[in-house]
Amino acid sequence: MFLLYDLIFFLIALIYIPLYLLRGKMHSGLWQRLGFLPREIPFGRPIWIHAVSVGEAMSIRVLVSELRKMHPEKKFIFSTVTPTGNKIAKGLASAGDAVIYLPFDFSFIVRAVVKRIEPSVFILSETEIWPNLIRALSKRKIPIITVNGRISDRSLRGYSAIKFLLQPILKCIALFCVQTEQDKSRLEALGVGHEKIKITGNM
């Protein structure tokens, strides 16, 4: 299944990367997305939080503040996909933390990145599914938690269509913190056990 996913992702990349280059949208984070991380990646099993863009990055401010109080010894890694999200994440970082672009979800790239970072936990803001990254983290027994999770009508239709492919990935996630009872029900319909879902509201 994951080999097929790699192939599909590769075909999509072949189409979109040249388009980004032609439109001048390819930003300096390309090398990081290819797995070349900056030297200042913190050691000591940091807390890795991924927030795809501006909205998600802004929503995790309180979470980051509370985690710092609970784990003052920990450094943080923040990953984003968009340049604007990256800028917000830099405002959350403290001395010794790192802000990176999430690597492309090719198995050989994310395996190397996960091994390099070796986080104590990986936290996903909202419900994003990165199959190879989730699998790489799970194989190294790194807990994966989603926060502020939600399943829109559109996402539910898409996920339901590939439910048999999605279930092994969802099983790798240790805890789903979702916004509403409806989000909880939708995750259960996708095969997630109720004991792994907590309703925590909108951050």
Q: Which neighbouring-strand residues pair with 80?
A: 101
Neighbours of 67 (CB within 10 A): 17
40 in catalytic set? no
Residue 18 has pLDDT above 80, yes or no: no
% of the chain with per-residue pLDDT over 70: 86
Choosing from 56, 128, 181, 195, the catalytic residue is 56
pLDDT at 10 over 70: no
**Residue 178: partners with Cβ closer than 8 Å, 6 or more residues away:** 127, 146, 149, 150, 151, 184, 187, 197, 198, 199, 200
- Percent of the chain predicted with pLDDT > 90: 59
What is the pLDDT at residue 15?
66
Q: Most distant CA pair in the chain: distance in Å?
A: 48
Indicate yes or no: pTM above 0.85: yes
Q: What 3-state DSSP class applies to 137?
A: helix
